[in-house]
Amino acid sequence: MPLLGARSAPTKFKGKHDSVKRFIRQYKQMCAVYNVPGPERCKRIIDYCSTAVTRFIESLDSFVDSNWDLLEEDILTYYDAELSELRYLISDLDKLTDRWHQETIHNLKKFKRFEVDFLTVSNWLLRKGKITKDEQHTKFWYGLNDKLREAVEAHYLATHPWYDPRKVIPRSDVAKIIYNMFTRERFDA
């Protein structure tokens, strides 16, 4: 097996929740390449860990019993691998929309920055089932300032006369309208 720091070795695990899954995945891949059996995996994992992590791993029953499957589970549990899965909360999206609602978006560059910030958080929440598509559209709408919302709604009503104002305008339609409003190729831009 390669020494710590070698190109094919995993980076040293220092006990951070955001790197534990990557470390375990790299370590398992390396062990598969070198055909390392389960009990040997338990003994060798500490070669790729910091001193504090090594002390902790050595104190686990799964390490003493050389039970690789249980040791892997213990490491993921105790170093809180689930915490890295919890990136955003709905309150993060609300704060983002409140902050952007105060901003005046007057060009395409600024709108794209809002769109990137918004989609980063909202798409993650959407994929995790924390919000629905309608909630995403609504929060996107509330992230725009009042003046821009009025302009977008006027454009939307002009092209969609059957629009029901009780329903939110889909995010993709809002984005298309704003892209057209702020296009860089306008004669007066």
DSSP letters along 115-172, please?
A: HHHHHHHHHHHHHTTSS-HHHHHHHHHHHS-HHHHHHHHHHHHHH-TT--TTSPPPHH
Burial of 64 (0-12, 13-18, 19+ CB in 10 A): exposed
What confidence score (pLDDT) does residue 81 get?
77
Which pTM was predicted?
0.63
What confidence score (pLDDT) does residue 142 get?
96
What confidence score (pLDDT) does residue 126 get?
95
- Alpha-carbon separation of residue 171 from 95, 96, 107, 123 (angstroms): 18, 16, 18, 12
Q: Tokens representing 134?
A: 């309608």
- Greatest pairwise CA separation for the chain in angstroms: 75
Question: What 3-state class would DSSP assign to 92?
Answer: helix
Question: What 3-state class would DSSP assign to 49?
Answer: strand
What does the alpha-carbon distance between residue 178 and residue 82 come to, in Å, rounded to a whole number? 38
For the chain, 189 residues long, give each residue's pLDDT as a single digit of tens: 787 877 878 889 999 988 999 999 999 999 999 999 989 999 999 999 999 999 999 999 999 999 999 999 999 999 987 776 778 899 999 999 999 999 999 999 999 999 999 999 999 999 999 999 999 999 999 999 999 999 999 999 999 989 888 899 999 999 999 999 988 676 665
Domain boundaries along the sequence of the chain: 20-84, 90-181
Q: Whose CA is closest to 144, among 115, 182, 123, 166?
A: 115
What confidence score (pLDDT) does residue 49 get?
95
How big is the CA angle at 46 (ends 43 and 49), to the nearest 5 degrees? 165
